[in-house]
Structure 1
Amino acid sequence: MRTATTRPEPLPRPGTGLSRRRRRAGLALTLLGLPLLTGLLVAVGEALPLDSVFLLYLLTVVVVAVVGGVLPAMVAAVGSFLLVNWFLTPPFGTLVVESTGRVIDLVVFLLVGLTVSVTVDLGARRRVIGARAQLEAHTLAQLSSTPMALTGPDLVLGHVRALFDLDAVHLVQSQDMDGSNGGADHGIGVTLARAGDQPDTPAAVTEPAGAGLELLVWGRELAGDDVRALRGFAQVAGRAEEGRRLVDEAARGRELAEVDRLRTALLAAVGHDLRTPLAAAKAATSALLSKDIALTPTDQRELLVTVEESIDRLNDLIANLLDLSRLQAGALQPALRPVGVDEVVARALLAHRGAVHVSVRDDLPRVDADPGLFERVVANLVDNAARHTTPGTRVHVTAADTAGAAPPGVSAVRVDQPVDRGAVVLRVIDHGPGVPEHDWEHLFVPFQRLDDSSTTGLGLGLAIADGFTRAMGGTLTPSETPGGGLTMSVTMPASGRTTST
C-alpha cells in the first residue's frame, strides 16, 4: 500500500503519447513488415484483388500505429502508398497510375492511414494526461491527509523532485521577509527545506509557496502542464512549512508549560520543605541561646539533635535538587566498576532510622555500578518505601541473580520487565496502600507524590533513583506487592556481562 512517505513514480511527460521503446518498435515493424508483405503480395500476383491489397496494407498501418504511434504510422502509410503504387498497381515499376479511379484509391488509402495513426496517438496522449492527473491528485491527497507532524516540507520536496524528475528542489524564505540572506544561498534567501544539493546555476523555475515563501527547482525544462502542477505542490510545501512551525511552537509551548509546572511545584515544595527544618533549627538554637530558659543537659541534647536532624534534611533536599539538575542537564557521568550488592545496601542503610529487613546474600555476582550512585538509589527507594508502608510492618530489601529465587515470604513478587540471566535484581518491598498500575508511569516524574499525604519530601526520590539507575545501564520497574503495597525492582548487569536490549 502506497503511503505519503513512499516516493512516487515520475509523472509521464506531457505531450508524449508513447514511450521511445514503443516508437522504435513501430519503426522496426514498418521497416521489416512492409517489405515482407510486399514480397508476399508480388508472389501472389493478380490473384488477389487490389481492394484486398489496400486492406492488408491498411491493417499493417493500424498495427504500426497501435504499437509505435503517429510517426511510425505515417512512415508506414507513406511507404505503403509508394509500395502499392510501384509493385502492385499497373503499370508496374513506375509511380504513374493508369486510371483516375486508382489515383483516388491510393489517395484515400494514404489519408485513412494518416488519420488512423493520428487518432491512435491522440488516444495515447489522452491516457498520459489522465495518468498524470490521477497521480497528481493521489499524491496531493496523501500529503494533505497525512498528519501535520508527519508531513514536513522535506517530505513534500522529495515528492516534487521524484514526480518531476528534477535535480534539486528548495523551499526558501524570501529576502524581503527577513531582510537578510541568512548565509550562502547565492542571493535566493534562507533555505528552509531542500531535496537535493543546490547547483551553481540559477533556478529553472520559481513558484510562490505562501507568505514570504518560494519554491525553487533545478533540472530539466518544465512544460506548461508541469508548471501548472508545480504550483499546487508549491502551496502544499508552504502549508507543510507552516505546519512544521506550528508543531515546533506547540512543542515549545509544552516545554514552557512543563518548566512552569516544575517551577511552581519546586517553589511550593521547596518553600515548605525549607521552612520546616529551618523553623525547627531556628527554634532549637533560640532555646539554646536564651538566658530565660533553664535547660537540663538532656534538654540541651534533644535540642542539638533537632538541629542536626534539620540540617540533615536541608542537606538531603539540596542534594536531591542538585542531582535532579545534573540529570536534566545530562551532566551525570557514572564511574562504573564491579561492586558487591550487599556492600552497597549496607552502606545505604547506615543513616536510615527505620526498621528494614535485609535479605541480601554476600555470594551474589558483583554488578557494574557507580557505588555512590547505587547507594543513593537504594537509600531513596528505602526512604520512599518507609514513608508509605503500613505502621507496624517493615520494609524488605532482597536481592537475587536472575537465575535465583527470592527469599521466603517474598517469593511471589514478580518482575514485570524480562531481564537477562547475567543480571542481579534488587527489590525494595513495602506493604503500604500501593500505587494503581495506571499511575506507574507517573512514579518517576519529578515533584509527583501521587496522593501522598505526608508532609515531607519533594517527590524527587523516585525520579532521581530512576535517573541514576538508567545512567548506570540498569532499569527500575514497579510492580505490585502480593497482599498490597509496591515493589521497586532495580536490575543491574552483572560485572562483565550486559543486559539484553
Structure 2
Amino acid sequence: MGTVAQGGPDSVRRSWRRAGVGVIAAGAGLAATTAALVPLRSQVSLPSVVLLYLIPVLLTAALGGWVPAVAAAAGADLLVNYFFIPPFRTFAVEAGDSIVVLAVYVGVAVAVSLAVDLAARHRATAARRDTEAALLAVASSQPIEQSLARLLEEVRTTYRMTTVALAEQGRTVERVGPSPHGQPALSVAAGGGLRLLGWGPQLFAEDRRALARLAAAAARALHTQRLAGQAAHAEELAHIDRVRAALLGAVGHDLRTPLAGIKAAVSSLRQPDVDFTAHDRAELLATVEESTDRLTAVVDNLLALSRLQAGVLSVDNQPTALDAVVARAVLATDTGGVEVHVDVPDDLPLALADPGLLERVVANLLANACAATPPGRSVQIRGRADDHQLQLQVIDHGPGIAVEDRDRVFAPFQRLDDHSSTGLGLGLAIARGFTEAQGGTLTPSDTPIGGLTMTIVLPAAVADR
C-alpha cells in the first residue's frame, strides 16, 4: 500500500469549498456595505468609505483565502468608484487624487488580504502542531503497555477516522475501531516495516505530514512495548534461575542429610553379623523417625510454597479461637528446650481465620523464634484484641533482624531468618503468605529489650457492637 498522494481529490474539493465560502462572504459583505453607505454618501468622506470597505475584504480573506479576497478588493474598488466618486454611477474619475485613493486602496486591500490569509494558515499550522503535541503527550503519559493503543485511539478521534491500525509486513499489530472494510484512505510509513493505516475521510497534506510523525511515534511505542516485554521476560527467567539455584542448593542439603541418616540407620539394622542391644536398636529407629520427620517437613514446606506461588491455596476462614490454635502450635513445635510463655486469654473475641493455616503460621514463627533465642532466655506468645482486630505476637530475645533485611527475610530460600545453616529458609515466606491469604498481615519489629517481635493481625469474626 502506498502513501496517499498529497493534494488528492478530497483536498481539492475542500479548497474549492473554502473559496466558495469566501466568494459568498465577499458578495454579501460588499452588498451590505454599499447598501449602508450609499444613503450616507453626502455625510461620509471618501477615505472613511474606503476604510469601511476594507471590512468585507478582511472577512473574505479570513474565510476564503487570498484569491477571493483580492477579487473582493477589486470589486470594492469598482463600487467605490461607481457610487462614491463624482461623476456618480459611472466609472469615470474627474479628480486625480481620487485615482490615487483608489490605487492605494487596492494595494492596501491586497496586502492586508495576503497578511490575513497567511496568519490564518499559520494559526492552522500551529493548531495542527498543538494537536500533534497533545497526542504525543497523551501517549507518553500512559503506561508502556497502553501507550500504543491510546495513541492510535487519539489519532482516530482527532482525525475522525473510523479505524486506525499499526501494521507490520501486512499483519495488523494493533488496531482501534471496528474491523475495517476495503482499502485504507491513509497509509503512512512508520519505519522498520511498520505502517500507520487509517480508514475514514481523506486528510489535508498538512495533516498527513503530522501523521507521518505520529506514525513514527507509534512505531517507537511498539518497540518500547516489545523491549519492556523482553526485559520482563528476561527478569522472570533470571528470577526462575535464582529460585532454581537456591532450591537446588537448599534441597540438595536438606534432602541428603535426613536421607543419609535414614540410610545409615537402616543399613546398620540390616547388618546380619551385628547383635544390637535394645537401646542401640531404639536409637537407630529414633534416627529413622527423626530423619523422616525432617523429610516430611521439607516436602510440606515445598508443597505449601508451590500452592502459594500458584495461587491455589485453599483457605477456609471461620470464627477461630486464638488460644486453641496457639496451644496446638506449641505442642506440635520442637522448641529445642527453649521455654515458651503463652499469654493468650481464652476470652478474646474469635478471629476470622483458617485454623489449620494459622496454626502453621504460629508454628513456623515459634520455631524461628526458638532457634534465635540464646540459652537461658524464653519466647513469649501474646494475644490481644484491638479495634475489631486481633493480634498475635511471637517475641524472642535473640539478635533480631536489621531493618534493611526485614523485607528480604520473607523471600523464599533466605536463611537469614533461621540464624543457622539448616532449613530451606521457607518458614517466614510461608508464614506471611498464609497470613495474607487469610486476610491478615505479618510484620516484624524490634523487641524493646532486644530481639525480634513478629505480629500477626487478623480481623475479628464479629465486630463489636
Question: Once the 2 structures are TM-superposed, how far is the Cα of residue 42 of structure 1 from its aligned partner?
Answer: 2.6
How is 1:201-280 mapped onto 2 (pairs within 5 angstroms)? 201-280=182-261
2:151 corresponds to: 156
Q: Secondary structure at the match of 1:446?
A: coil
Q: Secondary structure at the match of 1:495?
A: coil
Q: Distance in 2 between matches of 1:49 and 1:375?
A: 104
1:397 corresponds to: 381
Q: Distance in 2 between matches of 1:451 and 1:469?
A: 17
2:5 corresponds to: none
Of 48, 71, 90 in structure 1, the residue corresponding to residue 86 of structure 2 is 90
Q: Residue 379 of structure 1 aligns to which amino acid in structure 2? A: A
Greater fraction helix: 2
Q: Distance in 2 between matches of 1:24 and 1:465?
A: 82
| Moved segments of 4+, more than 6 Å | 13-16, 22-29, 143-148
The answer to whether the aligner puts 1:122 opposite 2:106 as a matched pair is: no
Of 165, 168, 175 in structure 1, the residue corresponding to residue 163 of structure 2 is 168
Q: Which moved more, 1:78-87 or 1:209-218?
A: 78-87
Q: Residue 41 of structure 1 aligns to which amino acid in structure 2? A: L
Q: Which runs of 5+ in 2 are unaligned?
A: 1-10
- CA distances 1:284-332 after superposition (whole Å, capped 9, x unpaired): 2333333444433333323222221111111111111111111111111
Of 345, 350, 354 in structure 2, the residue corresponding to residue 370 of structure 1 is 354
Q: Secondary structure at the match of 1:454?
A: coil
Of 477, 490, 493 in structure 1, the residue corresponding to residue 443 of structure 2 is 477
Q: Residue 364 of structure 2 aligns to which amino acid in structure 1? A: N
**Alignment TM-score, normalising by the size of structure 2:** 0.84
- CA distances 1:245-296 after superposition (whole Å, capped 9, x unpaired): 1111111111111111111111111111111111222222333333444433
- What is the number of residues matched between the two proteins? 445
Of 298, 306, 309 in structure 1, the residue corresponding to residue 279 of structure 2 is 298
1:412 corresponds to: none
Q: Which moved more, 1:286-295 or 1:258-267?
A: 286-295
2:265 corresponds to: 284
Of 384, 387, 412 in structure 2, the residue corresponding to residue 446 of structure 1 is 412
Q: Distance in 1 between matches of 2:53 and 2:34?
A: 14
1:357 corresponds to: 341
Distance 1:90 1:224, change over 3 A: same
Q: Which moved more, 1:110-119 or 1:457-466?
A: 110-119
Instruction: Tell me if the contact between 1:24 and 1:68 (Cα under 8 Å) persists in the aligned partners.
Output: no
Q: Secondary structure at the match of 2:191?
A: coil
Q: Distance in 1 between matches of 2:224 and 2:293?
A: 51
How is 1:29-108 mapped onto 2 (pairs within 5 angstroms)? 30=29, 34-35=33-34, 37-39=36-38, 41-42=40-41, 44=43, 49-50=45-46, 52-61=47-56, 64=59, 70=65, 73=69, 77=73, 80-81=76-77, 83-92=79-88, 94-97=89-92, 99=94, 101=96, 106=102
Of 397, 405, 429 in structure 2, the residue corresponding to residue 463 of structure 1 is 429
Q: How large is the RMSD of aligned CA atoms in angstroms?
A: 3.5
Q: Secondary structure at the match of 1:443?
A: helix
- CA distances 1:318-376 after superposition (whole Å, capped 9, x unpaired): 11111111111111121111110111111112222323211101111111111111111
Q: Secondary structure at the match of 1:386?
A: helix
The answer to whether the aligner puts 1:379 opposite 2:378 as a matched pair is: no
Q: Secondary structure at the match of 1:209?
A: strand
Distance 1:453 1:292, change over 3 A: farther
Q: Residue 435 of structure 1 aligns to which amino acid in structure 2? A: I
Instruction: Tell me if the contact between 1:424 and 1:491 (Cα under 8 Å) persists in the aligned partners.
Output: yes
Q: Distance in 1 between matches of 2:236 and 2:374?
A: 38
Of 446, 450, 453 in structure 2, the residue corresponding to residue 487 of structure 1 is 453
Q: Distance in 2 between matches of 1:196 and 1:147?
A: 19
- CA distances 1:27-67 after superposition (whole Å, capped 9, x unpaired): 799368615640563352xxx553x2443334535664686
Q: Distance in 2 between matches of 1:435 and 1:478?
A: 9
Instruction: Tell me if the contact between 1:69 and 1:120 (Cα under 8 Å) persists in the aligned partners.
Output: no
Question: Once the 2 structures are TM-superposed, how far is the Cα of residue 155 of structure 1 from its aligned partner?
Answer: 3.7
How is 1:323-334 mapped onto 2 (pairs within 5 angstroms)? 323-334=304-315
Q: Secondary structure at the match of 2:180?
A: coil
Q: Distance in 1 between matches of 2:279 and 2:156?
A: 86
Q: Distance in 2 between matches of 1:333 and 1:202?
A: 54
Q: Distance in 2 between matches of 1:346 and 1:171?
A: 64
Q: Distance in 2 between matches of 1:172 and 1:230?
A: 15
1:432 corresponds to: 398
Q: Which moved more, 1:467-476 or 1:56-65?
A: 56-65
